[in-house]
Amino acid sequence: MTVGGGTMGWGTIFVFQDITGINEMIMTNNLNVYPNPASDYISVEGESTINNILIANEIGIVVYQQNIKSTKTEINITNLTNGICQIKTSGNLQSGHSRLINNR
């Protein structure tokens, strides 16, 4: 059963409620990272409040972490190594995931 859901495509938030009444967070792709590729700063924007942002390098090591309470933030990536990074965000009932190409 979905509560406030919609179609089962990417970009739709689904909140499932089981018989215990506990809401479960579902990953969505409602995350904008731009410019991409980037060389100095990126903007990260979500549809709802982002509480935490993680950036991991190509082998999964977290190279950046920021706690925020906003729908948008700007991140200086000049200290990150070149290559493909994974960006993960989490909020109250939503999380997001994106890839970033860092080419200084």
Distance from C-alpha of 27 to C-alpha of 73, rounded to nearest angstrom: 20
Q: What is the pLDDT along the chain (104 residues), one digit of tens a residue?
A: 444 444 444 454 445 445 555 555 555 567 899 999 999 999 999 888 899 999 999 999 999 999 999 999 999 999 999 999 999 999 877 888 899 999 97
Task: Catalogue all structural domains in the chain, each as residue range(s) with its CATH number.
Answer: 27-102 (2.60.40.3080)
Q: Which of 57, 55, 78, 50 minimizes the C-alpha distance to 65?
A: 55
- pTM of the shown model: 0.71
Please, what's the b/e burial string for 2-37 (b: 16 or more CB within 10 A of its CB; e: otherwise)?
eeeeeeeeeeebbeeeeeeeeeeeebbebbebeeee
